[in-house]
Amino acid sequence: MMVRSVGKYRQLSQFLINACAWIILTAGALPAIWIVLTAFRPAGEVNASPPIWIPREITLDAFANMFGLNPEIQTRVAVDAYARNSALVSIISTGLAVIFGTLGGYAFARFKFRGHTATFLALMFSRSVPGIALTLPLFILFTRLGLTNSILGLALVYTAINIPFTIWLMDGFFRQIPYDLTEAAFVDGCTHWTAFLRIDLPLALPGVSAAAIFAFLASWNEYQLASMLTRSNEARTFPPGLFAFTQQFTVDWRGMCALSVLMMIPAIVFVLLTQRNMVRGLTFGAIKG
């Protein structure tokens, strides 16, 4: 009887935990669900009071207006420019952050040098600076360097922001790889570079994937710096591009939600394709040996 009671208690506890988890996840997903529903609802339901949760009719008018397919709407949002700029900035910054962050993480994990701990802590503390505090200094600096309204300038900023996190993640991941493997490579005649490329880096690829995911999403969704450092569609990305739907006295909430849906699709696909590596990378890389 006691065994059955314990088994039922465990099943009930697991059921309650799962129910709480689903309630929390649903509550957290409500804003995204509302955005998706608003993008496909008729214009008359957007500001309805009381609000209409489930659209009575599914329409693609917001997307047609955004792409200039509606002849009654003369203005067109530069979705193609926003998508191109966001992709270029995110890919460039992610690639640079992963390269330099991986090398930095390997150096901190495998070598001891003067100022090792102080340098590592300084990099980590740099992550505590809020982005809004960097906007004015970066704007003045980039104006003097001629990098405002530039895809390359924005990519460099995101690279500098993402490198500390990448170093921290890769440092923890490289520490989980036994140093005996590296020493065995030295015995076989490998240099530090050869051992890194042939032994450590292949074993650390899940961590590299996790770092790439976070760097990509951070660059793709960043708004504060992008809104300050870009002035036209030549370099403007998706987040500041959402303000193309705001006018002096009105806001096209439905159009803004439609653009948000387009903005979410690449990020969701990217995470789904690399989810396994992200979880494995965080599981191993977040544990310091």
How is the chain split into domains, by residue range? 2-59, 79-285
What average pLDDT does range 135-154 have in this prediction?
88
**Is 163 a residue whose pLDDT tops 80?**
yes
Task: Report whether 62 contacts 42 (CB < 8 A).
Answer: no
d(CA 208, CA 202): 10
CB count within 10 Å of CB 40 equals: 18
**Is 285 a residue whose pLDDT tops 70?**
no
pLDDT score of 248: 57
pLDDT score of 76: 66
d(CA 70, CA 43): 14
d(CA 135, CA 130): 10
Position of tokens 């300050």?
228
The band of 71, judged by pLDDT with boundaries at 50, 70 and 90, is: low
Cβ burial of 158 (10 Å; 0-12, 13-18, 19+) is: buried
pLDDT per position as a tens digit, 28-47 = 888 888 888 888 988 888 88
**Is 289 a residue whose pLDDT tops 60?**
no
Q: What are the CA-CA distances from residue 204 to residues 6, 108, 170, 171, 272 (Å)? A: 42, 15, 8, 10, 20
Query: What is the DSSP-derived secondary structure letter of residue 270?
Result: H
The band of 210, judged by pLDDT with boundaries at 50, 70 and 90, is: confident
Alpha helices in 41-78 (DSSP H): 61-66
CATH superfamily placement of domain 79-285 = MetI-like (1.10.3720.10)
pLDDT score of 175: 87
pLDDT score of 31: 87
The band of 277, judged by pLDDT with boundaries at 50, 70 and 90, is: low
What average pLDDT does range 52-69 have in this prediction?
83
Q: What are the CA-CA distances from residue 13 to residues 5, 21, 23 (Å)? A: 12, 12, 15
pTM check: above 0.85: no
Weakest-pLDDT range from 46-50, 96-100, 213-217, 254-258:
46-50
pLDDT per position as a tens digit, 230-259 = 888 888 898 888 887 776 567 788 888 888
